[in-house]
Chain A
């Protein structure tokens, strides 16, 4: 080999090391810069796609009844009286008040002894008094009696033995769960309490709150550990520090760029994403190990070669196998992406695949570049072993192991056949199960709290049943109420359902109270009028909003909430199914219908498909890797052979799971795609090496195996160890599903490695497959080796890429719900077609008032003109003095995909500054309208929103009441919502001229953000022109009034005004 490095593009890193290092680092920096933008989504909802019916319904229920996943704080008092003593009751009141003062707690929904009312009959009707008032006038035992006399609260609010009571909190927004959870924990730590009292914080709200923190803690422990282990392993493998550092560069690129890319793509960090960095650490280093191994081996074998020759040779030889394994690994992960129906898994597959690709790019180009620059030298021991034709310990171990398998190939194949059959049988007994609380380690406080609360009270897990009647006050029908009571009774008869709440309970209590507390009157009132009267009586002394959680405002819908003491899928599945059957049978009349909702129901819906989805996913992944291998080796039998070790490993894992009692859940279900993606690498390296050995003229089969085990075997052993150690780290994770995941991936990779080292050579011995033993390939490859190799790689890359593209395409075609939105779109088209003139000159003054009433005034002259479809707008500030001369120029293109071009001229800078137009949601020059609002000027971008007509609404405009159409615009997805800063718009449009007269905006978190009102609407030059626009921001109290004057659609505007030189020179 001569020193002139050949011109192949593969060797770019060797030929232009500085360039490649620079490009590599720049690319890394560019993607890494996104890491800060990543955000976490640890909610269970994240596991369902946003358009899943169960999730949609749950959110609807949440909207109607204001219900969300509660955070439960249990106060346990071990003293004789339990919680019924003055100190503890006051403590409950104190805590309730402190919790309610937390910013994000919806105080209206808080339930505790300090918020709930006792209902008793009195001479004037019903007397609704807070339980706590009983303490002021009497003693704790009065509260005990009242609770025990109120079946709804007995066991739900206070445990039947009186030892525990709860405070149930709901937060406005799930994103604040983490902060609220921390604040709650902080309060419970600081509050002074009697020695007998202990606190427990649990519930889905708490899980949500704690999980984010829990994951961070876990990740910050696991990632460095995985990195450290891999580094140590590399040092051991190469007996040098430098390769370990180089390996870490590839790792860093793969992990950091992937996370950065996720951030840029707006994909959140889910619970399971935690596993991704660790997995990438293990996988990313694999390519480096192969290249470094070959490089050192080359140095040891050919002492006369220059280091540059060695690295070129290594890249040339290893390019194909490393590329092949990368492609198959990516295929495995894409299989997960294709088959998974839960977004976290899809993204896990997609981004891990991306990370593997990054690792390939950096291993093939950057690593050789770094090697070229740093010139690492082989250890003397290695040279010595090589010169004496000896192998080191690792080579010896692997050779001995391999020889055992190849000496009796039939026995080897038989053993694997037994494993296959046994595994298949055991696999059928695999159980699908999931329990969210089991995400936490048993020692965690939240796990213990959950156990304690579920032991004493009715439970922290929720099923909601929504009863719907056809007419207003339909719930008042005694027949409906009776059905509800029966349903509750039935539900409570089911195992694990310990209590239920509905408006029927309150009515029964009222009925009892109005009949002198006679227990036999704890029943549904007899007629509709009586029910209505009871509500009226209640409202006389109670708060009319007390029933918001149980009925809607026109008494058409009611909610029954069931409390379960478990969320384990295998236990809740029969409950949901029984309830559904009961509902189908009992609620099929016109009187009322019922639908299941709540967290347990939502979880049921996604977990029930976990099993089928998993097995389909495995099948697709297997087919993917089999096809890719078949294409790469151009032989179906090669595809099948490469897949065989993986199939063995998966069946072994299933068997192990059944034997070790590990359920197929969130964490464990994704092992297969990972195991397939990783396991296939061993098979491909093995087959590829055997093929090249034959091509290079190794005729004797035993010689071939010796060489295989000595070189590739050794490298694969380290490859295996890297992965096994990398995933092994997950076994120490505190996130239990990840522990299980780590365990079974290690198991499966071990099996794949063993099978690749034993089963494959045995099969090759027995079958003598053509794709290895072909004379033709021998000639071709020996003749023009490098070119042909790269040409072949390219020719196989194409079909693989096409396959990837197909898969991706299949994914993006989502279910488009054929909703009839024609009317809404028609209104949108009308709004967008309102004539705004081909050109216009106007003076615009902006009055800005902050919440303290401080005013600021801005005056501008603005010009707008259409140039074909292209709209150009320019503003010049004339007031205040310090902004005078400021100019703003926009070119707005008809194609919504093309970003606008914008320039700002600040006279102080004497320079026209190009500004990015992508910040559509940024506020324009300190006003309350965004750049997008200003640009659209009430028009609606069809690409951004889904529209829906919401009826009509009278709006007063210019002293006239106009019956407006109400149009609701909802951003098409979270990203658009985030970009625009809006979660929803309610637009009132005048149907006579299609001018928008009022718009309400909500932010993506659902908070009412601002209201814009247009007035002084009159025709100028035949064009409807809005002269005043007032915008009030409800969150900041800031207000902007835009007044347009001297509007002129006819005055000639010279084209030169819409130029940067005009910005500089002013008007």
Chain B
């Protein structure tokens, strides 16, 4: 608790310092959003919250831009948290300077983003807590691994809302007219926040968590966090002959701990450990007539896959090749259709690995605007070929005025209950909400 409070104080201090550092142009934007979800399989309300987000931006006379975004979440009667367990004991995913400033069962206060930036000639520098997105794919991760993710509601919130911003130095240097070199230095080793065990989005799929063996005692060891070290990212991006291309390299820690299992005596010792990997990849996209074609590919040196057995500590270490081929079609009036084909191959595969050697997913997105863009209909469908499971998400948003909008939708999971999506069949839900921005 002490640690968390001190973290909050540091954040607060930085905000106060910024405010007093010579104001020129200041802007405050407030966003209040509330959503209520009802799950038919569970026959109960599974989510009911109000989110208050303030976005304060400041332009200083010396060309420095500052942005600070705190957020307060009021969570009522939610089934998103598992038990009365003190969450701090579980939030080992956060680095010392990250994580909620305050949290209890119904409230959560956190500093979402806080950064300052300026241009020095052809170089832009942005320092602070921020989100950086790599890659082009929507809802699928190949290159988009800079920030960890909050999986409290699995993948249902938009990625931009569930990405966990981290403290980093973000340098971008323009090379010529159309190319940029980006350097990221991330000392903030914060990892994915997973849903509480026992909560409705707790991960149970055998592909992601080892299944307990009846009558074999298990001893859980504290998660092994890496010592002080920084993640380094490099990206070269350019616009060549109508193509947006990037080449990416990221030396990082995986955002989900590798769960090692060792049999010592008659007890299985489970040791979750954050492991190091390297990612090299590229992305490209171009528009041709009504079509926008996209490709994204990543080679992950050293990935870790769960095994059925506990030989080799229950983990197969292998390189992985992941890719997304996608297109957007804009040929229909005010309607966008987007298709993505995701494939990942475990290069050094063993039969004991739980996952398939080749994992394939397809997504299809329809987005339709109507009534002079006051109404938006969005349908996202995902099929995971490995288990024939997936999800369908439909959302309709109506902008009542410039400030107010209301939305409703359905999140539906289907398929094999052992699959990463099918496991949440029971969590399928209907949503209703509103948002006001001023």
Q: Which residues of A contact B (CB under 8 A)?
A: 37, 848, 850, 854, 856-858, 867, 879-882, 884, 899, 901-902, 908-911, 914-919, 921-923, 925-928, 1036, 1038, 1055-1056, 1059-1061, 1065-1066
Interfacial chain B residues near A882, Cβ < 8 Å: 31, 399, 402-403, 405, 435, 437
Q: Which of B110-129 contact A (CB under 8 A)?
A: 117, 119, 122, 124, 126
Do A1061 and B289 touch across chains, with their CB atoms under 8 A apart? Answer: no
A926 to B334 Cα, complex, angstroms = 10
Q: A880-B403, A909-B160 are known contacts. Are A914 and B333 too (CB-CB below 8 A)?
A: no
Do A1056 and B122 touch across chains, with their CB atoms under 8 A apart? Answer: yes
Smallest Cβ distance from B305 to chain A, in angstroms? 26
Interfacial chain A residues near B287, Cβ < 8 Å: 899, 901-902, 914-918
Interfacial chain B residues near A858, Cβ < 8 Å: 402
Q: A914-B287, A1060-B244, A1065-B124 are known contacts. Are A856 and B402 too (CB-CB below 8 A)?
A: yes
Interfacial chain A residues near B122, Cβ < 8 Å: 1056
Do A1065 and B117 touch across chains, with their CB atoms under 8 A apart? Answer: yes
A915 to B288 Cα, complex, angstroms = 10
Q: A910-B133, A914-B292 are known contacts. Are A919 and B158 too (CB-CB below 8 A)?
A: no
* Residue in B126, B163, B372 whose beta carbon sits within 8 Å of that of A926 in the complex: B372
Beta-carbon nearest neighbor of B333 in chain A: A922
**21 sample A-B contacts, Cβ–Cβ < 8 Å, listed by A number:** A850-B371, A854-B401, A856-B399, A856-B401, A880-B402, A881-B403, A881-B437, A882-B403, A882-B405, A901-B239, A901-B242, A914-B136, A915-B328, A916-B288, A917-B287, A922-B333, A926-B374, A1038-B372, A1061-B174, A1065-B124, A1065-B126
A1 to B285 Cα, complex, angstroms = 47
Smallest Cβ distance from B367 to chain A, in angstroms? 11
Do B174 and A915 touch across chains, with their CB atoms under 8 A apart? Answer: no
Interfacial chain B residues near A1060, Cβ < 8 Å: 237, 239, 244
A858 to B402 Cα, complex, angstroms = 8
Beta-carbon nearest neighbor of B294 in chain A: A914
Taken residue by residue from 266 to 292, chain B's Cβ proximity to chain A (1 for < 8 Å, 0 otherwise) reads as 000000000000000000011111111
State the 7 A-B residue pairs at the shortest beta-carbon distance, nearest first: A926-B373, A880-B402, A881-B437, A916-B330, A926-B372, A882-B437, A916-B287
Q: A923-B372, A1055-B177, A1059-B174 are known contacts. Are A914 and B286 too (CB-CB below 8 A)?
A: yes
Do A880 and B437 touch across chains, with their CB atoms under 8 A apart? Answer: yes
A914 to B291 Cα, complex, angstroms = 10
A432 to B371 Cα, complex, angstroms = 53
* Residue in B237, B242, B372, B403 whose beta carbon sits within 8 Å of that of A850 in the complex: B372
Do A857 and B29 touch across chains, with their CB atoms under 8 A apart? Answer: no
Interfacial chain B residues near A914, Cβ < 8 Å: 136, 244, 285-287, 292, 294, 328
Do A927 and B244 touch across chains, with their CB atoms under 8 A apart? Answer: no
Beta-carbon nearest neighbor of B122 in chain A: A1056
A848 to B372 Cα, complex, angstroms = 9
Smallest Cβ distance from A861 to chain B, in angstroms? 13
Interfacial chain A residues near B331, Cβ < 8 Å: 37, 918-919
Smallest Cβ distance from B378 to chain A, in angstroms? 13
Q: A880-B437, A882-B402 are known contacts. Are A910 and B330 too (CB-CB below 8 A)?
A: no
Smallest Cβ distance from A979 to chain B, in angstroms? 10
Beta-carbon nearest neighbor of B237 in chain A: A1060
Do B29 and A884 touch across chains, with their CB atoms under 8 A apart? Answer: yes
Beta-carbon nearest neighbor of A884 in chain B: B29
Interfacial chain B residues near A857, Cβ < 8 Å: 402
Interfacial chain B residues near A921, Cβ < 8 Å: 333
A884 to B136 Cα, complex, angstroms = 22
Most buried by B among A858, A899, A925, A927: A899
Smallest Cβ distance from B29 to chain A, in angstroms? 5
Interfacial chain B residues near A1059, Cβ < 8 Å: 174, 178, 180
A629 to B237 Cα, complex, angstroms = 55
Interfacial chain A residues near B435, Cβ < 8 Å: 882
Do A915 and B372 touch across chains, with their CB atoms under 8 A apart? Answer: no
A880 to B124 Cα, complex, angstroms = 27
6 new A-B pairs (CB below 8 Å) besides A850-B372, A1059-B174?
A902-B287, A914-B136, A916-B328, A917-B287, A923-B372, A1059-B180
Do B289 and A899 touch across chains, with their CB atoms under 8 A apart? Answer: yes
Beta-carbon nearest neighbor of B435 in chain A: A882
A919 to B335 Cα, complex, angstroms = 10
Do A881 and B31 touch across chains, with their CB atoms under 8 A apart? Answer: yes
Taken residue by residue from 324 to 367, chain B's Cβ proximity to chain A (1 for < 8 Å, 0 otherwise) reads as 00001011011000000000000000000000000000000000
Taking the complex as formed, is B172 at the interface, i.e. its CB lies under 8 A from any CB of chain A? yes
A48 to B31 Cα, complex, angstroms = 60
Taken residue by residue from 413 to 438, chain B's Cβ proximity to chain A (1 for < 8 Å, 0 otherwise) reads as 00000000000000000000001011
Interfacial chain B residues near A928, Cβ < 8 Å: 372
* Residue in A879, A915, A1056, A1065 whose beta carbon sits within 8 Å of that of B292 in the complex: A915
Taken residue by residue from 59 to 71, chain B's Cβ proximity to chain A (1 for < 8 Å, 0 otherwise) reads as 0000001000000
Beta-carbon nearest neighbor of B182 in chain A: A1061
Beta-carbon nearest neighbor of B337 in chain A: A33
Taking the complex as formed, is B408 at the interface, i.e. its CB lies under 8 A from any CB of chain A? no
A198 to B256 Cα, complex, angstroms = 78
Smallest Cβ distance from B85 to chain A, in angstroms? 32
Taking the complex as formed, is B131 at the interface, i.e. its CB lies under 8 A from any CB of chain A? yes
A821 to B21 Cα, complex, angstroms = 65
A856 to B398 Cα, complex, angstroms = 13
A882 to B292 Cα, complex, angstroms = 26
Interfacial chain B residues near A1061, Cβ < 8 Å: 124, 172, 174, 180
Smallest Cβ distance from B148 to chain A, in angstroms? 14
Do A919 and B373 touch across chains, with their CB atoms under 8 A apart? Answer: no
Interfacial chain B residues near A850, Cβ < 8 Å: 371-372, 374
A713 to B180 Cα, complex, angstroms = 68
A854 to B371 Cα, complex, angstroms = 12
A852 to B29 Cα, complex, angstroms = 29
A919 to B180 Cα, complex, angstroms = 29
Interfacial chain A residues near B178, Cβ < 8 Å: 1059
Smallest Cβ distance from B198 to chain A, in angstroms? 31
Do B290 and A916 touch across chains, with their CB atoms under 8 A apart? Answer: yes
A193 to B126 Cα, complex, angstroms = 81
* Residue in B160, B244, B373 whose beta carbon sits within 8 Å of that of A910 in the complex: B160
A794 to B158 Cα, complex, angstroms = 55
Interfacial chain A residues near B285, Cβ < 8 Å: 914
Smallest Cβ distance from A367 to chain B, in angstroms? 26
Smallest Cβ distance from B50 to chain A, in angstroms? 17
Interfacial chain A residues near B160, Cβ < 8 Å: 908-911
Smallest Cβ distance from B209 to chain A, in angstroms? 29
Smallest Cβ distance from B123 to chain A, in angstroms? 10
Beta-carbon nearest neighbor of B285 in chain A: A914
Most buried by B among A37, A879, A923: A923
A966 to B163 Cα, complex, angstroms = 56
Interfacial chain A residues near B136, Cβ < 8 Å: 911, 914
A1065 to B160 Cα, complex, angstroms = 16
A879 to B402 Cα, complex, angstroms = 9
Beta-carbon nearest neighbor of B119 in chain A: A1056
Interfacial chain B residues near A923, Cβ < 8 Å: 334, 372-373
Beta-carbon nearest neighbor of A1054 in chain B: B119
Beta-carbon nearest neighbor of B160 in chain A: A910
Do B244 and A919 touch across chains, with their CB atoms under 8 A apart? Answer: no
Q: Which of B39-68 contact A (CB under 8 A)?
A: 65
Smallest Cβ distance from B187 to chain A, in angstroms? 21
Most buried by B among A882, A928, A1038, A1061: A882
A13 to B307 Cα, complex, angstroms = 39
A41 to B333 Cα, complex, angstroms = 21
A1038 to B370 Cα, complex, angstroms = 13
Interfacial chain A residues near B401, Cβ < 8 Å: 854, 856
Interfacial chain B residues near A915, Cβ < 8 Å: 287, 292, 328, 330
A856 to B405 Cα, complex, angstroms = 13
Beta-carbon nearest neighbor of B289 in chain A: A918
A104 to B131 Cα, complex, angstroms = 54
A918 to B331 Cα, complex, angstroms = 8
A854 to B237 Cα, complex, angstroms = 43
A190 to B242 Cα, complex, angstroms = 60
Interfacial chain A residues near B294, Cβ < 8 Å: 914
